[in-house]
Amino acid sequence: MMTDNQSVREEVKQIFTEYLKKHGHRKTPERYAILDTIYSLDGHFDIETLYTLMEEKENFRVSRATLYNTIILLLNANLVIKHQFGTSSQYEKCYNRETHHHLICTQCGKVTEFVNEELQHVIEHTRVGRFNMSHYSLYMYGICSRCERANKRKMTNKLQNSKK
Protein backbone atom coordinates (compact mmCIF):
# COMPACT_ATOMS: atom_id res chain seq x y z
CA MET A 1 0.00 0.00 0.00
CA MET A 2 1.28 3.43 -0.99
CA THR A 3 0.91 5.82 1.94
CA ASP A 4 -0.45 9.28 1.15
CA ASN A 5 1.84 12.26 1.02
CA GLN A 6 1.01 13.72 4.42
CA SER A 7 1.75 10.46 6.23
CA VAL A 8 5.00 10.09 4.33
CA ARG A 9 6.07 13.54 5.46
CA GLU A 10 5.36 12.57 9.05
CA GLU A 11 7.16 9.27 8.72
CA VAL A 12 10.33 10.72 7.23
CA LYS A 13 10.34 13.32 9.98
CA GLN A 14 10.38 10.54 12.54
CA ILE A 15 13.05 8.60 10.71
CA PHE A 16 15.18 11.74 10.49
CA THR A 17 14.68 12.44 14.20
CA GLU A 18 15.90 8.95 15.04
CA TYR A 19 18.84 9.35 12.71
CA LEU A 20 19.82 12.66 14.30
CA LYS A 21 19.49 11.27 17.80
CA LYS A 22 21.49 8.16 16.97
CA HIS A 23 24.33 10.21 15.55
CA GLY A 24 24.33 12.93 18.17
CA HIS A 25 23.17 15.68 15.82
CA ARG A 26 20.83 18.49 16.80
CA LYS A 27 17.24 18.81 15.75
CA THR A 28 17.29 22.26 14.20
CA PRO A 29 14.30 23.92 12.52
CA GLU A 30 16.39 24.35 9.35
CA ARG A 31 16.88 20.61 9.03
CA TYR A 32 13.19 19.82 9.34
CA ALA A 33 12.20 22.63 6.99
CA ILE A 34 14.61 21.31 4.36
CA LEU A 35 13.40 17.73 4.75
CA ASP A 36 9.79 18.83 4.48
CA THR A 37 10.38 20.95 1.41
CA ILE A 38 12.16 18.07 -0.31
CA TYR A 39 9.28 15.72 0.45
CA SER A 40 6.80 18.23 -0.94
CA LEU A 41 8.55 18.02 -4.30
CA ASP A 42 8.27 15.47 -7.07
CA GLY A 43 11.21 14.48 -9.19
CA HIS A 44 14.71 15.93 -9.20
CA PHE A 45 16.02 19.19 -7.88
CA ASP A 46 19.41 20.78 -7.38
CA ILE A 47 20.66 22.92 -4.50
CA GLU A 48 20.00 26.19 -6.30
CA THR A 49 16.37 25.23 -7.01
CA LEU A 50 15.85 24.12 -3.44
CA TYR A 51 17.38 27.36 -2.19
CA THR A 52 15.05 29.53 -4.25
CA LEU A 53 12.04 27.35 -3.54
CA MET A 54 12.51 27.45 0.22
CA GLU A 55 12.77 31.20 0.22
CA GLU A 56 9.91 31.88 -2.19
CA LYS A 57 7.40 29.13 -1.55
CA GLU A 58 8.10 28.15 2.04
CA ASN A 59 9.26 31.57 3.14
CA PHE A 60 12.12 29.95 4.99
CA ARG A 61 15.56 31.45 4.55
CA VAL A 62 18.50 29.02 4.76
CA SER A 63 22.04 29.45 3.53
CA ARG A 64 23.39 27.32 0.73
CA ALA A 65 25.98 25.97 3.16
CA THR A 66 23.24 24.61 5.38
CA LEU A 67 21.53 23.05 2.37
CA TYR A 68 24.73 21.24 1.45
CA ASN A 69 25.29 20.13 5.05
CA THR A 70 21.76 18.90 5.51
CA ILE A 71 21.68 17.04 2.21
CA ILE A 72 24.68 15.01 3.38
CA LEU A 73 22.77 14.00 6.52
CA LEU A 74 19.73 13.08 4.43
CA LEU A 75 21.86 11.01 2.10
CA ASN A 76 23.31 9.12 5.05
CA ALA A 77 19.88 8.64 6.54
CA ASN A 78 18.75 7.11 3.21
CA LEU A 79 16.03 9.71 2.83
CA VAL A 80 17.48 11.28 -0.30
CA ILE A 81 19.53 9.99 -3.20
CA LYS A 82 21.97 11.85 -5.38
CA HIS A 83 22.29 11.89 -9.15
CA GLN A 84 24.86 13.57 -11.30
CA PHE A 85 23.32 14.26 -14.67
CA GLY A 86 24.26 17.52 -16.30
CA THR A 87 26.41 20.12 -14.59
CA SER A 88 25.12 20.32 -11.02
CA SER A 89 24.25 17.46 -8.67
CA GLN A 90 20.60 16.49 -8.62
CA TYR A 91 18.80 15.00 -5.65
CA GLU A 92 15.48 13.31 -5.04
CA LYS A 93 13.53 11.97 -2.09
CA CYS A 94 13.65 8.19 -1.92
CA TYR A 95 11.61 7.03 1.07
CA ASN A 96 8.45 5.17 0.07
CA ARG A 97 9.05 5.94 -3.59
CA GLU A 98 8.68 3.43 -6.35
CA THR A 99 12.04 2.32 -7.72
CA HIS A 100 12.53 3.83 -11.13
CA HIS A 101 15.10 4.16 -13.86
CA HIS A 102 16.17 7.13 -15.95
CA LEU A 103 16.13 7.96 -19.62
CA ILE A 104 18.44 10.83 -20.52
CA CYS A 105 18.26 12.48 -23.91
CA THR A 106 21.77 13.22 -25.12
CA GLN A 107 20.41 15.92 -27.41
CA CYS A 108 18.11 18.04 -25.25
CA GLY A 109 19.19 16.76 -21.81
CA LYS A 110 15.66 15.91 -20.72
CA VAL A 111 15.46 13.27 -17.98
CA THR A 112 12.46 10.94 -17.86
CA GLU A 113 11.71 8.33 -15.23
CA PHE A 114 10.20 4.95 -15.91
CA VAL A 115 9.29 1.91 -13.85
CA ASN A 116 10.12 -1.60 -14.98
CA GLU A 117 9.78 -4.31 -12.41
CA GLU A 118 11.55 -7.06 -14.33
CA LEU A 119 14.59 -4.82 -14.76
CA GLN A 120 14.45 -3.84 -11.11
CA HIS A 121 14.21 -7.46 -10.02
CA VAL A 122 17.20 -8.58 -12.08
CA ILE A 123 19.38 -5.71 -10.87
CA GLU A 124 18.42 -6.09 -7.23
CA HIS A 125 19.18 -9.80 -7.31
CA THR A 126 22.59 -9.42 -8.90
CA ARG A 127 25.31 -10.40 -6.45
CA VAL A 128 28.86 -9.27 -7.15
CA GLY A 129 31.48 -10.75 -4.90
CA ARG A 130 31.15 -9.48 -1.34
CA PHE A 131 29.82 -6.09 -2.37
CA ASN A 132 26.92 -5.06 -0.18
CA MET A 133 24.58 -3.01 -2.40
CA SER A 134 22.34 -0.42 -0.76
CA HIS A 135 20.89 1.16 -3.89
CA TYR A 136 21.60 1.68 -7.57
CA SER A 137 21.07 4.02 -10.51
CA LEU A 138 20.41 3.02 -14.09
CA TYR A 139 20.78 5.74 -16.72
CA MET A 140 19.83 4.99 -20.29
CA TYR A 141 21.15 7.49 -22.83
CA GLY A 142 19.75 8.11 -26.28
CA ILE A 143 17.51 10.31 -28.36
CA CYS A 144 14.03 11.03 -26.98
CA SER A 145 11.04 10.77 -29.29
CA ARG A 146 10.65 14.54 -29.42
CA CYS A 147 14.23 15.14 -30.63
CA GLU A 148 13.93 12.15 -32.99
CA ARG A 149 10.93 13.76 -34.66
CA ALA A 150 12.64 17.16 -34.79
CA ASN A 151 15.68 15.56 -36.43
CA LYS A 152 13.57 13.81 -39.05
CA ARG A 153 11.80 17.06 -39.85
CA LYS A 154 15.15 18.82 -40.32
CA MET A 155 16.35 15.99 -42.58
CA THR A 156 13.26 16.25 -44.73
CA ASN A 157 13.60 20.03 -45.02
CA LYS A 158 17.22 19.68 -46.08
CA LEU A 159 16.30 17.19 -48.76
CA GLN A 160 13.52 19.41 -50.06
CA ASN A 161 15.80 22.45 -50.11
CA SER A 162 18.45 20.61 -52.06
CA LYS A 163 15.84 19.60 -54.64
CA LYS A 164 14.89 23.23 -55.36
Residues 56-85 that bind DNA (CB under 7 A): 61-66, 68-70
Q: Identify any residues that bridge with 104 across adjacent strands, giving them in sequence order.
A: 111, 141
Q: How far apart (Å, rounded) are the C-alpha atoms in residues 137 and 100?
A: 9
- HSE on the CB side for 15, CA within 13 Å? 19
Confirm or reject binding of residue 20 to a second copy (CB under 8 A): no
Check binding of 55 to DNA (CB under 7 A): no
C-alpha to C-alpha distance for 52 and 58, rounded to whole angstroms = 9
Cβ-contact 16, 35 below 8 angstroms: yes
Indicate the residue among 135 and 163 with the shorter CB distance to a second copy.
Answer: 135
Identify the residue among 72, 108, 140, 155 touching a second copy (CB under 8 A): 140
Question: What residues from 70 to 109 belong to the interface with a second copy (CB under 8 A)?
Answer: 84-85, 103, 106
With CB under 5 to 8 Å by kind, the binding choice for 116 among DNA, a second copy, none is: a second copy
Total residues contacting a second copy by CB under 8 A comes to 31
Binding site for DNA (CB under 7 A): 20, 24-31, 46-48, 61-66, 68-70, 87-89
